Structure 1
Amino acid sequence: MWNEESSLLQGSAAHTNDPRALLLWRLPLTLFIPRLTHTQNMKSRAVTKQIHRRLQNIFLELSGQKLVNDCTEVSKTECQSCGKGEFLSTWNREKYCHEHRYCNPNLGLRIQSEGTLNTDTTCVCVEGQHCTSHTCESCTPHSLCLPGFGVKQIATGLLDTVCEPCPLGFFSNVSSAFEKCHRWTSCERKGLVEQHVGTNKTDVVCGFQSRMRTLVVIPVTMGVLFAVLLVSACISESPGGEALHPTAERQDPVETIDPEDFPGPHPPPPVQETLCWCQPVAQEDGKESRISVQERE
């Protein structure tokens, strides 16, 4: 109808050469036609959304069912729900349902969520194991960090353990999938002394300062000093030590006379006094002495 009216206006405007008339009949068209087009687009979009929602509801209703017979001119499509342990997650034309996944415990798998008519069973690894692939068909135990290494990242059901070597000042003395490197013990904070240095596998060994060592060292040291002093004193008084002093005047050998050679009473022979180490001393006054033969002559 609108097309017929526009054609009539165009025909009437064609019979006149007045440009103002042409402008008058074209102006309403330019103002009305865009509004009409926008209204039609809005209505078509609303209808499209409604159809899409209805199709979604139909697909959701048909999920979990398999096709038995296709529709014909006289009959509708015939569907049947999946049986126990089967599922179909989307609307389809398949005649067979899919079996639920089996979580094999021998492969380290366990059930995370049971399957339904619309969803499959979800499997995950048991505690202490992780998937060997992105499909998680099987699992393997977590790796252990050996002594000297600590856990940087704890393993999950999908990723293995990440280990790192213990830096200086830290140690790890166990094989574990959870233990991190531990800091060396501070002996000073405990008021102790360090007896053994730590490594990346062992901790520092602390202990009390030994008093027995002091009690043993002091007597031994005193004994050594006493022995040195005693030996020095003996060396200084030994005969060999005379070489360190001026030698005495050399004395001629003394000839002794037998008392029997002279008549008359004989006084007792004088006794020569000596000091330590058999050194002669000067004769005291008033004591008799033997005169050598040379002196008599």
Structure 2
Amino acid sequence: MVNRGCLKMFIMLMMAQLIPFKEALECMVGEYEVDGQCCPTCQAGYRVNETCTVMTGTTCVACDPGTYTEHQSGLKECLQCKVCDPEFGLVTRRECSSTSNTVCGCFPGHFCVIMKDDCELCEPHQVCTAGQYMKSRGTEMNNTICEKCRAGTFSPNGTLGQCLLWTNCTAQGLSEEEPGTDTKDALCSPYSNSQLTFIIIPLVAIIVIAVIILVVKLVRMEKSQAAYDIRRRGEASHTEKISNPLETDGSVINLPVQETRQQEESVPLRERIYKSQDSGEP
């Protein structure tokens, strides 16, 4: 009985000694703690398949495709590789391997707005408009910075790194037809103000004189035509009276042929031609 009691006391003392030893257990580099004992870790690219025992070491297997472990560990499952989603403006910079995760970057024309181990979200660069210039061109980590053109300068499309100066028409001996704006250059005339004056004034004078001459000719033609029409109507009436004279009693009076010829010869040649055409004579 004494021996059994002593044995129980011994076992209790040993257990009391083991409890603080377990809490104070510290594994060396290249080991990990599991179930109160230190086991060897698996290398990068591998995971624990079976933990170690008193008789065997840790059993490791390679990570499956699409998974990885970057360092020695006691992980029983490899980590899932990251996917670079184009909807977030991401593009794959480095493919995932068994020992490293995927590295994501931004599409051209985008910059990263959320950064952890690598970029998590990208957004498009700001686009400068006409009347602005790019003070700072966008990069993968920074957005584009746009600035408005100052007075006397312009930018036609917003892609320039610096606004352009307006053309000085006066300094070139030209006249300014349209002033410059922040989006377009000043428009110069190929002639100076004095040259324009010497050209425009004579040109206007020539046009006015031509119009006056044309009006005068038209008036003269209208007057000549009116006079001719009046004369023709009078001669036609006189001829009708001569060719068809009537007595008061209604009998026809025949004039001498010689007198009729003299009257016809007294009429100008051009009018006789008109008369012959009207009467149908050859």
- Normalized against structure 2, the TM-score is what? 0.51
The C-alpha deviation readout for 1:171-201, integer Å capped at 9, x for no partner, is: 113244x654223234467664433332322
Do residues 164 (structure 1) and 143 (structure 2) align?
Answer: no
**Residue 86 of structure 1, CA deviation:** 1.0
Greater fraction of residues in strand:
2
Do residues 99 (structure 1) and 80 (structure 2) align?
Answer: yes
Query: Does the CA-based 8 Å contact 2:115-2:121 persist in structure 1?
Result: no
- Within the candidate set 208, 217, 221, 2:201 is matched to 217
The C-alpha deviation readout for 1:3-30, integer Å capped at 9, x for no partner, is: xxxxxxxxxxxxxxxxxxxxxxxxxxxx
Do residues 184 (structure 1) and 166 (structure 2) align?
Answer: yes
Letter of the aligned partner of 2:144 in structure 1?
Answer: T
1:1-297 pair list within 5 angstroms: 62-135=43-116, 136-176=119-159, 180-187=162-169, 192-209=174-191, 211-217=195-201
**Residue 220 of structure 1, CA deviation:** 7.8
Mapped partners of 2:185, 2:42: distance in 1: 66
Mapped partners of 2:58, 2:41: distance in 1: 16
Mapped partners of 1:185, 1:150: distance in 2: 18
Query: Does the CA-based 8 Å contact 2:42-2:48 persist in structure 1?
Result: no
Query: Does the CA-based 8 Å contact 1:60-1:90 persist in structure 2?
Result: no
Letter of the aligned partner of 1:84 in structure 2?
Answer: P
Mapped partners of 1:179, 1:106: distance in 2: 30
Letter of the aligned partner of 1:194 in structure 2?
Answer: E
RMSD (CA atoms): 3.1
- Normalized against structure 1, the TM-score is what? 0.48
Mapped partners of 2:136, 2:86: distance in 1: 26
Letter of the aligned partner of 2:126 in structure 1?
Answer: S
The C-alpha deviation readout for 1:247-287, integer Å capped at 9, x for no partner, is: xxxxxxxxxxxxxxxxxxxxxxxxxxxxxxxxxxxxxxxxx
Letter of the aligned partner of 1:126 in structure 2?
Answer: F
Query: Does the CA-based 8 Å contact 1:132-1:138 persist in structure 2?
Result: yes
Mapped partners of 2:204, 2:142: distance in 1: 65
Q: Equivalent residue of 1:216, what SS?
A: helix
Query: Does the CA-based 8 Å contact 2:46-2:60 persist in structure 1?
Result: yes
Quick one: structure 1 residues 218 and 126, their matched pair in 2 at CA, closer, same or farther if it must change by over 3 Å? same
What is the count of residue pairs matched by the alignment?
166
Letter of the aligned partner of 1:173 in structure 2?
Answer: P
Mapped partners of 1:218, 1:194: distance in 2: 22
Quick one: structure 1 residues 108 and 160, their matched pair in 2 at CA, closer, same or farther if it must change by over 3 Å? same
Quick one: structure 1 residues 101 and 191, their matched pair in 2 at CA, closer, same or farther if it must change by over 3 Å? farther
Query: Does the CA-based 8 Å contact 2:49-2:61 persist in structure 1?
Result: yes
Identify unmatched segments of 5+ residues in structure 1.
1-50, 222-297
Moved over 6 A (4+): 218-221
Q: Equivalent residue of 2:120, what SS?
A: coil
Q: For the pair shown, which has the larger CA radius of gyration, 1 or 2?
A: 1
Query: Does the CA-based 8 Å contact 1:85-1:99 persist in structure 2?
Result: yes
Query: Does the CA-based 8 Å contact 1:151-1:181 persist in structure 2?
Result: no
Query: Does the CA-based 8 Å contact 2:42-2:73 persist in structure 1?
Result: no
Identify unmatched segments of 5+ residues in structure 2.
1-27, 32-39, 206-282
Letter of the aligned partner of 1:110 in structure 2?
Answer: V
Quick one: structure 1 residues 188 and 220, their matched pair in 2 at CA, closer, same or farther if it must change by over 3 Å? closer
Query: Does the CA-based 8 Å contact 2:109-2:125 persist in structure 1?
Result: yes
